[in-house]
Amino acid sequence: MALLNLFGKKKKAFKAFCNITREPLESGYGYLLTTAQIIASKKYWDLIMTEPETLSYTMSHFNNQPSGTQMRNMIFEKYASVAKPWIVSDSIINYFEIDKTEARDNAKKWWESEGSFTPESAGPASQKLDGSTFNAFKEYAVLEAGRGKLSVSR
């Protein structure tokens, strides 16, 4: 191993991208959130359910097509089951009602550990939230998210 260092082989710099916007993050910046914190945000779900990749499912859902609702349920389950913490950028942090100081401190620990730091509260949301809280977030994400952006009546 020491011989490799003699030949100038450098360790690659640790890089990260926002898990939501995919924008690159400068070392030491960003916020570290748990999946429970992510799925608790109505603003986040309004964004996710109206992105170009999901908009057709949202339109189908609000047009009472079960396939759209089923796909929105699958999207929710995909995001809610993420076990790792989420590193997010300054540009998206205001979508979440969280303690920003704690999230920033956790991000610094995450950077220092090159992405291996995990807060105790990290894990799939269904395992970290009580059932009624989890179901309330799921109900909004699946049944209501994006309604305002599409101006769909009930």
Residue 94 structure tokens: 């205001």
Place of tokens 């205001």: 94
Rounded Cα gap, residues 103 and 98, in angstroms: 8
Q: Tell whether the torsion through CA atoms of 134, 138, 144 and 148 is positive or negative.
A: positive
pTM score of the predicted model: 0.87
Query: At 112, is the secondary structure helix, strand, or coil?
Result: helix
Residues of the chain with pLDDT under 70: 1-11, 151-154
Predicted pLDDT of residue 150: 80
Residue 38 exposed, middle or buried by CB count within 10 Å (0-12, 13-18, 19+)? buried
